[in-house]
Amino acid sequence: MFENLSVTESFKNSITAAIRMSKLSHALIFEGADEATRLSAAKEVAAALVCKGEDKPCKSCNACLKALKDSHPDIHILFKEKDSTMIKVDAVREIKTQALIFPNEGTKSVFIISEAQYMNPQAQNALLKIFEEPSSHVCFILTCTSKSSLLDTVISRATSYTLGEGLASSEKGEDDKAVIIAAELISSLVGESEFDFLKKTASFIKDKKLFREVIERMISFSRDALILQSGGKELLNGEREEVRLLKNRFTQKKTFELTESLKSLSADLDSSANLNLTVTRFSSVLYGIKVN
């Protein structure tokens, strides 16, 4: 199992042992490594759960072949919609409905939630309700960069696995960089100091991945500020200084405008061929919100 994936031996061993003994938890969290590796690993585990062969996944029985072709009726994969920055509560509610139905072909239905860090708190809470009353025929696999982006209540009801230390830490390094820049941008957006986006956004022109990550983080921060402004408590990022600043210095209307503008910039990034132009637009749109 996992022959072609660069995952740690301890992950391989613990998962294969759990599958062999049919002791796999009904909710799994796969963190670390990179996105493609996480998804492939989740798909292999899903194949093992529906496999009708001996050494699961045998990769030769009918169920495995369907699983490998992504066409097994009992394996469901939820991705973030392309034009959205979040996995919304409706998508999770849909899963909740599907999870009540018995499997079509085997004894298990598997629901993979790819990049679960994009689930907003409402979506995570909806998922929690399913986790609390698990059906024996259902297994959930959540993949994410780091489980720290999930609510503690979700983490505590699942079994977590780290797929790759090396890759995880390098990806984390990039995450940290994006978090730092996003925090700086939010602070200078609401701060008294001179609004100097140009210097901070210079690195985006050469690094689309970083730019995307920074926008995602900023959306996440401004969503947290919105949650605080509407009296909510369950934050995606925990207590953060720049979120508190944003909450105090921006009106709810302005924070909402910021969130929506960032979402639209994120969508732009997908379709735009000219990164330079998007970076410029990013600066001017956010400056517009600051001065208005």
- The least distance separating Zn ion from the CB of residue 65, rounded to whole angstroms, comes to 8
Q: Confirm if 107 and 3 have CB atoms less than 8 A apart.
A: no
Establish if 53 lies at the interface with Zn ion (CB under 5 A): yes
Residues 161 to 190: which contact Zn ion by CB under 5 A? Answer: none
Structure-token pair, residue 289: 């919100």
Closest to Zn ion by CB, 67 vs 265, is 67
Q: Does 64 bind Zn ion (CB under 5 A)?
A: yes
Query: Closer to Zn ion at the Cβ: 1 or 279?
Result: 1
52-60, 136-144, 154-162, 273-281 -> range binding Zn ion (CB under 5 A)? 52-60
Tell the smallest beta-carbon distance from residue 109 to Zn ion (Å): 16
Site for Zn ion contains 45 (CB under 5 A): no
Biggest CA-to-CA distance, the chain: 66
Euclidean distance between the first and final Cα of the chain, in Å? 57
DSSP 9-67: HHHHHHHHHHHHTT---SEEEEESS-HHHHHHHHHHHHHHHH--SSSSS-SSSHHHHHH
Nearest approach in angstroms of CB 96 to Zn ion is 28
**Does 191 sit near Zn ion (CB under 5 A)?**
no
Helix, strand, or coil here: 78? Answer: strand
Minimum gap (Å) between residue 57 Cβ and Zn ion: 5
Residues in the chain: 292
Task: Supply 162's token pair.
Answer: 């780290």
Stretch that binds Zn ion, among 64-72, 166-174, 223-231, 269-277 (CB under 5 A): 64-72
Q: Which is nearer to Zn ion, 47 or 183 (CB)?
A: 47
Structure token digits, residue 211: 């730019």
Amino acid at 252: Q
The rounded distance, in Å, linking the Cα atoms of 146 and 159 is 14
Q: Which is nearer to Zn ion, 29 or 49 (CB)?
A: 49
Q: Specify the stretch interacting with Zn ion by CB under 5 A; choose among 31-39, 61-69, 85-93, 190-198.
A: 61-69
Question: Is 58 a binder of Zn ion (CB under 5 A)?
Answer: yes
Positions in the binding site for Zn ion (CB under 5 A) = 51, 53, 58, 61, 64
